[in-house]
Amino acid sequence: MFLILWEFDVKRGSEKEFESIYGPNGDWAQLFRLDPGYQSTSLLRDISRVHVYLTCDFWKSREAYESFRRNHLDVYLALDKKCGELTIAERKIGAFEQIEDEHP
* pLDDT at residue number 61: 96
Residue 103 confidence (pLDDT) above 70? no
The CATH number given to whatever domain includes residue 52 is 3.30.70.100
C-alpha span between 32 and 92 (Å, rounded): 17
Domain span including residue 46: 2-97
What is the average pLDDT score of the chain? 95
Whether 16 is covered by a domain: the verdict is yes
Residue range 7-22: mean pLDDT, rounded: 97
| Residue 66, pLDDT score | 96
* Beta-ladder partners of 75: none
Given a cut of 70, whether residue 104 has pLDDT beyond it is no
The verdict on residue 19 lying in a domain is yes
Residue 103 domain-assigned (yes or no)? no
Inside any domain, residue 55: yes
Asked if residue 104 belongs to a domain, the reply is no
* CB 2, CB 60: distance < 8 Å: yes
Residue 102 in any domain: the answer is no
On whether residue 75 sits in a domain, the answer given is yes
**33: in domain:** yes
Q: Quick: pLDDT tens for 17-61.
A: 999 999 999 999 999 999 999 999 999 999 999 899 999 999 999
- Report the alpha-carbon distance of residue 60 to residue 58 in Å, rounded: 7
